[in-house]
Structure 1
Amino acid sequence: MYDATIHGVGSSIPIKRLTNADLEKMVGVSDEWVISRTGIKERRVADHSEATSDFAYKAAIGALEDASLNPSDIDMILVATETPDHILPPVASQIQHRLRCSSIGVMDIHATCIGFLSSLQIAEMYIKAGKHKNILVIGADTLSKLTDYTDPYTSILFGDGAGAVIVSRSEETRGTGILSTLLHADGGAFEALFVPGGGSRHPASDEHKAKMVMDGSKVFKLAVKSMTSGAEEILQNNGLRPEDVDWVIPHQANERIIDAVARNLGMPEHKIIKTIQYYGNSCSATIPISLHQATMDGRIKRGDLILMVAFGAGFVWGSALIRY
């Protein structure tokens, strides 16, 4: 069996900023109210002419450049997204076409905010089994397209963007790269955060809008519990303790959730990567964007042990351990 290593990282975010001051004019919330509840100061949002594939493509180019690879080196493309440009075809096929890769296999992964970790697990299995050499994994979402900007509780949370990694085969097995991944779900809690309209159950209408609705209190409790247990489980499975970890990259949903999970794990604040202040919750993109930011600014270095942990609508949660 081979090692599956993170060979390149890239990200792309919209230029447009939606600040708390902007939201105060739209839904009457104050900067202090938003920050105290979420830790978010601003979020990036796509304009009317931009779609998920635009950011996914730019993030992919960045990851390829970082890995010193050409599109022809890629064997498969996985795109985690809840906001495809169209109901069909998959965003991954659009990325394949824009990159001008050969006729490789592609797929979109529909797993809400753990979509990137789900895609990472798929790439890990393909690489370790020797099926492929280089897999492009992208987390990309434009949640602003699903946000109700008359709702003060959800409009303050969500932003847009994309992050990408190249998962590559290492010919020597040295216990590096993606060490372990795990995924869980509890479908009984799906109504805590969902989009009522737009699917086959209820096509979008005035009665069933294609906008997110959320039970914030329930989501908060489920998120803290599931992210804590997901982190503890993967550490235990690998014979590690929290103090062995160099960096934690949590899903950037709410700073209060991130801080509660860190306290439960006994993780010091300086080990927690946060980007939520300036980008908000961009669903499947938050972890790869945060990874790229932390590698670019020099915090994360080769050889560091990274714990990634996330939760999402579904209700789903997961984690990954990576020796970067």
Structure 2
Amino acid sequence: MARAVGAPPVHVLGTGTALPGEPVGNDRLAHRLGLPSAWVETFIGTRTRHFAVDLDSGRVRWTLEDLCTDAADRALADAGAEPSEVAFIVLATATPDALMPTTAALLADRLGIEGAAAYQLQSGCSGAVQAFAVARALLAVSPSGLGLVVGGDVCSKHLDLGQDFHELPPGALVNYVLFGDGAGAAVVSGAPRGGARALLTHLEHRAAGFGVPPGQRVEWFGAADLRSGDGRRPAVTEDYKAVEHRVPVLARQLLDALLTAAGWRPETVDYLLPPQLSGRMTERITSELGQGFEWEPVSCVAETGNNGNALVFFQLDRLLPRLAPTQRALALAVESSKWIRAGFTVEAPQEASDA
């Protein structure tokens, strides 16, 4: 299948993901929060999630650096690449371990990568696409080099486990059952290379919330931090009704934009990587976008929880073993912070297509 003329594709050589600890099911979480598990199942639809903190003691068991290191190690192994081959790291996160040093720089040190450029993006759910876009620009300068693209979040740092959850309104309780922690990574190249798993072709990343209030705000301080500067301002606020209303609209716009950019007809697409919000909302968006088409959805959020910048990597990790020669996929991500739509098209490597 011919590909529309555009910027050079990103060659994905390997992927890896990491989740902290055992999955936390709705019964376990509901018992800890003093809530009926049926409420979680009905309202959110997410079955399990993973936390980097111990739910009982609040003790931090994994840092973002730990999770990103595990995911990067697995991606390098999957690509058959050595850390010494990596020329740059681009890491996307909304929840860095510290303002400085950056988690990207610490990750390079943990991996034993000396002299590589390390970039860190402050981003929400669209961060993985932003990171791939930055990587594509860097690879355009040095196509034969290898890059490491990483995304991850430790959302549980914003959970105040010592409060009375019966006093929280549903809008605040959502954050305790919706989000989880995790990290993902991909090894990429700008030039054809043996063993490439997929090509990311057309990347779309646009602010789409001009004049519209943010759907989510996350502060620098944590939920248990009293140094907010203006009383007890919550660390995380979310307009869930606005998210429900706007994300499906932006997802449709994004899908149409990617199809137009790639010159693809909808019926030639084999897989859809839909926006990952919650199990329930993702099912709804997938159903609405796929009406009349036989796209196979590739989703993870019902099992992993919403772990932000890691989500697209978990979807790619599930897609690549299924992607056969000549097959295509669309990856969609919508960030509600200030409404960003981001995504890319995926194709099987040209070598496989010509076989």
Shift, 1:171, TM fit: 4.4
Q: Distance in 1 between matches of 2:21 and 2:182?
A: 10
Contact 2:10 2:189 in 1 (8 A): yes
Q: Match for 1:10: what amino acid?
A: G
1:255, 1:163 → 2: CA distance?
A: 19
Q: Does 1:33 align with 2:55?
A: no
5 Å-filtered alignment, 1:141-290, equals 141-147=153-159, 150=165, 151-171=172-192, 177-185=199-207, 186=209, 188-196=211-219, 198=221, 204=228, 207-209=231-233, 211-266=235-290, 271-290=296-315
- Note the C-alpha offset of 1:206: 7.4
Alignment deviations for residues 23-50 of structure 1 (CA, whole Å, 9 cap, x no partner): 3224343333222222201111112131
CA deviation string 1:279-309 (max 9, x = no partner): 11000101101221344xx433465312111
Which of 11, 14, 21 aligns to 1:5? It is 11
Using the TM superposition, name which of 241-250 and 184-193 deviates more.
184-193
Residue 97 of structure 2 is matched in structure 1 by: 85
Unaligned runs of 5+ in 1: none
In structure 2, what residue type is equivalent to 1:180?
H
How many angstroms apart in 1 are the aligned matches of 2:86 and 2:232? Answer: 40
Report the more deviating stretch, 114-123 or 307-316. 307-316
CA separation in 1, counterparts of 2:232 and 2:342? 30
8 Å contact kept, 2:298–2:318: no
Q: Which moved more, 1:303-312 or 1:203-212?
A: 203-212
Q: How big is each residue's C-alpha offset from its partner over 1:185-234, in whole Å with a ceiling of 9 and x where there is no partner?
A: 126445321124539xx963572556211111111111111112111111
The yes-or-no answer on 1:73 pairing with 2:85 is yes
Checking the alignment, whether the CA contact within 8 Å between 1:196 and 1:208 is kept in structure 2 is no
Q: Are the equivalent residues in 2 in contact too, given 1:147–1:158 (CA < 8 A)?
A: no
CA contact (8 A) 1:80 1:139 kept: yes
Give the TM-score normalised by the residue count of structure 1.
0.89
Please say which structure displays the higher CA radius of gyration: 2
Aligned twin of 1:23: 29
- Aligned counterparts of 1:233 and 1:285: Cα–Cα separation in 2: 23
Match for 2:214: what amino acid? E
The answer to whether the 8 A contact 1:242-1:265 is kept is: no
Structure 2 unaligned regions, length at least 5:
1-6, 54-59, 166-171, 349-355
Q: Counterpart of 2:13 in structure 1: which amino acid?
A: H
Aligned length: 317
Deviates more, 1:26-35 or 1:114-123: 26-35
Q: Is the 8 A contact 2:14 2:187 kept in 1?
A: yes
Distance 1:188 1:50, change over 3 A: farther
SS of corresponding position for 1:170 = coil
Amino acid at match of 2:134: I
CA distance in structure 2 between the partners assigned to 1:241 and 1:98 by the alignment: 44
Tell me how large the CA RMSD over aligned residues is: 2.5
Q: Calculate the TM-score normalised by the size of structure 2.
A: 0.82
Selected match of 2:150 from 113, 138, 152: 138
Letter in 2 for 1:71: P
Aligned-pair identity (%): 24
Q: Secondary structure at the match of 2:119?
A: strand
**SS at 2:333 equivalent:** strand
